[in-house]
A and B are shown apart, each in its own frame.
Chain A
Amino acid sequence: GDSVTQMEGPVTLSEEAFLTINCTYTATGYPSLFWYVQYPGEGLQLLLKATKADDKGSNKGFEATYRKETTSFHLEKGSVQVSDSAVYFCALSDPRLYSGGGADGLTFGKGTHLIIQP
């Protein structure tokens, strides 16, 4: 079945450091890929997405590129801030998974807890 693997952390960085959170996936179809962020006490928010190979999703200084050849979607940011402290989830949506039902359930990684210190 489909799966998403990401580093779990916690990942602790100093402010203005460079961030990479690795994400790799396996899927039976040609999935869309997402990064979600969860701030303390809140639900998940979409951070960025990519729907086909070599697409780059970007938002709030974060970027991730859909690499089909390495089945990866690593999240990067050039200079992190304390306000970026959160849990980050990589996820995929496989169009073949629920082809009869019309809805697409997401498969999530376990989440990476990011802590940015001043």
Chain B
Amino acid sequence: DVKVTQSSRYLVKRTGEKVFLECVQDMDHENMFWYRQDPGLGLRLIYFSYDVKMKEKGDIPEGYSVSREKKERFSLILESASTNQTSMYLCASSLSGDSNQPQHFGDGTRLSIL
């Protein structure tokens, strides 16, 4: 089974801090994704990566950056955290190829910015 592991289930940070959310997958997937999930808004794509050191903006990249130095690890960075970034963050991975490939999700990190 594919395992996508997010480093923290719960995280509390302060406004202005630089925050790192880590995600690791163990199935040699090329593609990795970061989403945020908010009530009434569903899941929205922040950034994704289809190869090491490659990254693409999703629908809501403002205030975020990402890093993919190794194939199995994809980090989401909040450069200067703000209260409107309080949310559930979900990481996912998938095989490369066509659009038939499903995404496999981690359990999420619930981030609170005070």
Which of these, B4, B30, B41, B58, contacts A105 with CB under 8 Å?
B58
Chain A residues 64-93 with CB under 8 Å of chain B are 89, 93
Cβ contact within 8 Å between B99 and A102: no
Cβ contact within 8 Å between B90 and A32: no
Instruction: Check: B13 CB closer than 8 A to any chain A CB.
Output: no
A41, A42, A43, most chain B CB atoms within 10 A: A43
Chain B residues within 8 Å of chain A by Cβ, number: 32
Identify the stretch in B14-22, B77-85, B100-108 within 8 Å (CB) of chain A at 4 or more residues. B100-108
Kindly state the separation between the CA atoms of A5 and B43 in the bound complex, as whole angstroms: 13
The total number of A-B Cβ pairs within 8 Å is: 78
Cβ contact within 8 Å between A44 and B42: no
Interface of A is mostly: loop
Known contacts A43-B4, A95-B98, A98-B56; A106/B42 CB under 8 A: no
Return the chain A residue nearest B47 by Cβ.
A105
Kindly state the separation between the CA atoms of A18 and B4 in the bound complex, as whole angstroms: 33
Kindly state the separation between the CA atoms of A34 and B104 in the bound complex, as whole angstroms: 12
Chain B residues 24-69 with CB under 8 Å of chain A are 30-31, 33, 40-45, 48-51, 54, 56, 58
On B, residues with C-beta under 8 Å from A are: 4, 30-31, 33, 40-45, 48-51, 54, 56, 58, 90, 92, 94, 96, 98-108
On A, residues with C-beta under 8 Å from B are: 8, 31-32, 34, 36, 41-46, 49, 51, 89, 93-95, 98, 101-106, 108-111
Q: Add 14 more A-B contacts to A44-B43, A111-B42 (CB < 8 A).
A: A32-B98, A32-B99, A43-B90, A43-B107, A44-B92, A44-B103, A45-B105, A102-B31, A103-B96, A105-B33, A105-B58, A109-B42, A110-B41, A110-B42
